[in-house]
Homo-oligomer: A and B are copies of this chain.
């Protein structure tokens, strides 16, 4: 029986975070003014948001990245929130601004996201970054963290993406769609599936690389999967993925576990985006001094 190799996201994330931590340490020694700083805006007290923010805070601190939490009451208005974001935009000591989603019902998420400076948009959700992400000969200032993590997992596992057939199930703005785009830019031929897809199992079967991000526990079964396919399971439904691990791991060549697959690398990508941003600001300020 061919059991799939496990793509161990925890191990990969640990090694990425150590590299980031080293780099930050070296840059701080070399440039006194180098102090990468991430600001997270959190509205209300959702249990999941609290947990995610805490994870990000701990990861940032461990990497030598300053962390600022701007926590506001559920009652905050959209205008006040956008004003707060604009203050963070203008603060030169801050290199990354992230608004923890979801926001309360009464606030238009889009307006708040659009008020983030694209140059500090470490989540990569601003329209300007998304537009540049999909453009053929352009790149966004920041890639969204989960799609970036998926590519990182594939690359670090030595899986070739170019000229492969890929299937992405799920078309959300934060996972499915940008993952489609990144796989396309790396020259795989991708089919994007969603809740209105007819004959999903038949399409899943064509995938050499399968990415699933739908939020339905163990929805994709092992017998849908092309033997030898690489399976990236983004779903986090409590401790279950969107793919039935027991059956899928018997047919796939590689598979990510849940938990311990995509999620830890997603956090590492947020650190990476923040440090890249701090480096960019440092470079720009040095160039200004020189010229």
Contact = CB atoms under 8 A, between A and B. Distances in A.
Interface string A114-155: 000000000000111111101111100000000000000000
Given A128-B131, A130-B135, A191 B194 contact: no
Interface string A190-216: 111110111000010000000000000
A131 B125 CA distance: 10
Interface stretch (A23-31, A41-49, A61-69, A170-178): A170-178
Nearest to A197: B189
Given A110-B138, A130-B134, A177-B134, A189 B194 contact: yes
A222 B187 CA distance: 26
A164 to B, nearest CB: 8
Contact of A193 (B127, B189, B193): B189
Given A110-B138, A192-B184, A163 B132 contact: no
Contacts of A171: 136, 184
B196 A163 contact: yes
Contact of A136 (B138, B162, B173, B190): B173
A165 interface: yes
Contacts of A165: 198, 203
A212 B137 CA distance: 21
Contacts of A177: 134, 136
A238 B13 CA distance: 53
Given A130-B131, A187-B196, 18 more contacts: A110-B137, A110-B138, A127-B132, A127-B135, A128-B131, A131-B132, A136-B177, A137-B173, A163-B197, A163-B198, A164-B198, A165-B198, A184-B194, A187-B194, A189-B191, A189-B198, A189-B203, A192-B192
30 contacts: A127-B127, A127-B128, A127-B135, A127-B138, A128-B128, A128-B131, A130-B131, A130-B134, A130-B135, A131-B131, A134-B177, A136-B171, A136-B177, A137-B173, A163-B197, A163-B198, A165-B198, A165-B203, A184-B194, A187-B194, A187-B196, A189-B191, A189-B192, A189-B193, A189-B197, A189-B198, A189-B203, A190-B191, A190-B192, A192-B192
